[in-house]
Amino acid sequence: MSKITFLGAGSTVFAKNVLGDCMMTPSLQGFELALFDIDLERLKDSENMLNNLKQSAGSSCVVKAYTDRKEALRGAKYVVNAIQVGGYDPCTITDFEIPKKYGLRQTIADTVGIGGIFRNLRTIPVMLDFAKDIQEVCPDAWFLNYTNPMAVLTNAMNTYGGVKTVGLCHSVQGCVSHLFKNLEMESEGVQWKIAGINHMAWLLEVTKDGVDLYPEIKRRAREKQREKHSDMVRYELMFRFGYYVTESSEHNAEYHPYFIKKNYPELVDRYNIPLDEYPRRCVRQIERWRTMREELVNNKNLEHKRSKEYASYMFDAMETNNPFKIGGNVMNTGLITNLPKEACVEVSCLVDASGVTPTYVGDLPPQLAALNRTNINTQLLTLEAAVTGKKEHIYHAAMLDPHTAAELSMDDIVAMCDDLIEAHGSWLPKFV
């Protein structure tokens, strides 16, 4: 029996989307859906939910929960990763509250920035433990990473874990439809090309019937920018650098040195930037789970409509050899020629029975590559810190982060990192 293993299966709603999709895919019938999570209560919830869904969908997939990670992985053909190390409390709270004492404000803190650095440092060791198990019990498995920080974790698994890994993010999938909906433009029949790095990939081309749509996009965006809306940072980046970026304005506000500045507090209001947004989302999700748990977990008539998540379509393409195109995070094997070869990049990839084949992009426009490199610098130094155990590289990563460096002195950056290391305690390995 072929096997799909889901690590972090206590993410019940996401497990429903990904594994519910698999249950509705003809080529995946008969697969074992192996569930693993360190939270045994949430693991049981997901097992109950998926068994109910299996019955109502008439699927022949077999749902099995494991308390032993290695056994969950043993013989897997595909592995889906959706873990979050440290959760909202204590780690996310720590990532926000300690920098705030130094006057450093954040919105999401899960990609780069000081919050992204420490999320990486506590997650990479866990991921590399996964890699050791995979090397032992399912060395040929494809590893689909949905966990942030996407670029660094995908890089770690490929470079140091020796595991066939592709990172998957929703930002490419939703970029054009989101932009066109906000600008009240029709997206049917639109062709587009996106490349860059995760959360900072660029809409390089957008056409319909051979006509470049960027002039009309920018015209409408300038009209819309006269009043407050939820995407003001991305529009401003487009006006200044020429291209629209894939990830949301609340994310991109903290990837650059231009928008969240304690000496210019009016910028937060001008660009409608939601400071401390991610902690608020966490609280809302915790409250929502309390109200939706019963109807989701114990609903014998639970139904599912196949989502737009890439995973089941990728598995189907590998099983049937019917090609499917994705936006994937992969190592930069000469794909984007003006970004470092050590970086993880986000490009179009073809998926079929041979696996995941990334497509060549060439040079990005120089200003876009330059912006990407500012984030890649921090990503690569964070990875260096994680694999060497050297504290100095944590400082390097933070001092090179665009937003952190724009706000704090080097002394304060080092002191803040030390405070974060101490506050994380056993959530981090020992650094010297």
Active site residue 256: no
Of 170, 256, 304, 393, the active-site residue reads 170
223 token code pair: 């009209």
Task: Say how far apart CA 425 and CA 427 lie, in whole Å.
Answer: 5
Task: Say how far apart CA 89 and CA 383 lie, in whole Å.
Answer: 24
DSSP of 191-219: EEEEEEETTEEEEEEEEETTEE-HHHHHH
Determine how β-strand 324-331 pairs with β-strand 164-168: antiparallel
H/E element holding 346? strand 344-352
Give the CA angle between residues 349, 22, 74 to the nearest 5°: 85
b/e 239-265 (16+ beta carbons within 10 angstroms → b):
eebebbbbbbbbbbbbbbebbbeeeee
| Distance set, CA 63 to CA 1, 3, 29, 30 (Å) | 12, 10, 12, 10
Closest alpha carbon to 110 in 344, 330, 279, 346: 279
CA atoms 354, 359, 360, 363: torsion sign: negative
Q: Is the peptide bond before 366 cis (omega within 30 degrees of 0)?
A: no
365 token code pair: 């426009």
Q: Which residues pair with 5 in a beta bridge?
A: 34, 79
Q: Is 188 helix (H, G, I), strand (E, B) or coil?
A: coil
Q: What letter does residue 408 receive in the DSSP assignment?
A: S
| Distance set, CA 289 to CA 91, 160, 293 (Å) | 20, 36, 5
Give the CA angle between residues 316, 320, 323 to the nearest 5°: 75
List the catalytic residues. 170
